[in-house]
Chains A and B, each alone.
Chain A
Amino acid sequence: MSAVMDYAPLLWQGLLTTILVTVLSGALCVVVAFAAGLARLSRHRFLSWPAGIFIEVFRGTSLLVQMFWLFFALPFFGIQLHPVTAAVLALGLNEGAYAAEVVRGAIASRAKGQTEACIALGMEPALRLRRIIIPQSIPAMLPPFGNVMVDLLKNTSLVSLVTVADLTFSAQMIRSTTGQTTAIFLTILVVYFVLSYLLTLLTGWLERRFALDRKALVAQRKESRLMKVGAA
């Protein structure tokens, strides 16, 4: 355990980087998810097709390949990204593509009557989406979004492979200098576990916060179980 204690500041730095990368790519992921998910639903082909291609390409290839591509292959086009930028872009776009399907699914499965009522009230499409459809879809989106965020958190460990000094990277460094492999790796396993547990707690809190009412919550849990089975 002594290595863990001696190198605690380094691990702490790594942990902060991991959290930073998670927060930044999580924010990007949400933006990408709504942009791509809504574009995918659009009736205009010039919006829905590119969104569809984006979603399929990013879901169909490995996250690690995407990250390496942004870091190693993009310089051939004269664009040299900072490792953290490449990492955040890859994570945000990849998980965003998964989350876009969540957004699309949640909105597509809303009751048709709501849209019809909006049309009857003479609401414009943009207003309809912003004031009625999206707010109603949020409770259904939250549980699968939580899963995506936990996935994102775990996948931040891959940024260590493009030289970002996150928790995993620090652990590897300490391992190679001290040789105390077991203690180091068990420590970061537990840290990652605690982080993802905290994320699930946060999602649970958000779910309660955004629930329409208790009855809706129960129905939603059922739905989220189904979606968990369906989405992953």
Chain B
Amino acid sequence: MIWDNNFAISVFPLLLEGLGVTVQITLLGTLLAAVLGLVFAVLRRLAIPVLSPVVSFLVVFVRGTPLLVQAYCAFFVLPAYGVSFDALTTGVVVIGINYSAYMAEVYRSGIQGVPKGQWEAATALSLPGARTWGRIILPQAIRTVVPMLGNYLIQMFKDSAVLSAITVVELMATAQAIGSSNFRYLEPLTMAALLFLAVSYPASRLVNRLERRYAPQH
């Protein structure tokens, strides 16, 4: 028998624990990415000399380089300059910054999708900039962006496995550790894959439904 059922059952609780960490990383990372992405998108749109082009370049640079190498950079390079966090914090920050670059793009398209008349109306009513952004533009932009944020959340859930390479003990690292200490990779890796699927497939169905509900109103 290739598949050892008893072994599979015995390691299942450990894998569930790993899944818990993965979910935690995903939620914290998405929160960070959603906030940072919004900041980046608004900064780019405001066209502040020097700052906006730098932000634009950083966004493109982060999108053009692998998450794994970014994680290595944060994990190995920063401690050399006296900045060091534990692996989990580093992982959340890295994946959050990585995805913020993608989310900045999503927010940008959301902001662009707000009809010009809305800006003009805000100007005509002589609303100050902060209120134009906070009360008029962003609420409309974010509404169309919600399902996309959901898509990135699911993507991040799967991508967080990469963080196992910088010793974050999430689902993938747990499966790997079980595999190497028992010399049996088949069960832990297969179950890890199934756990990923069990969460991400229903989640993507849900996002699809959100997508239809939050379809642009104008």
Interface residues of A (CB under 8 A from B): 56-57, 59-66, 68-69, 72-73, 75-77, 150, 154-158, 160-161, 168, 171-172, 175, 181-182, 185-186, 188-189, 192-193, 196-197, 225, 228-229, 232
Contacts and interface: CB of A to CB of B under 8 A. Distances in A.
A172 to B, nearest CB: 7
Given A60-B196, A73-B186, A182-B80, A154 B106 contact: no
B18 to A, nearest CB: 12
Contact of B159 (A62, A197, A228): A62
A154 B172 contact: no
Contacts, number: 120
A77 to B, nearest CB: 6
Interface stretch (B43-51, B58-66, B121-129, B133-141): B58-66
Contacts of B204: 59-60
- A65, A156, A228 — which one has the most chain B CB atoms within 10 A of its CB? A65
A165 B32 CA distance: 33
B69 A161 contact: no
Chain A interface helix/strand/loop/mixed: helix
Contacts of A68: 172, 175-176, 185, 189
Contacts of B24: none
Nearest to A176: B76
B65 A76 contact: no
Interface string B59-81: 00101111111101100110010
B31 interface: no
A62 B164 CA distance: 12
Nearest to A66: B193
Contacts of A73: 185-186, 189-190
B111 interface: no
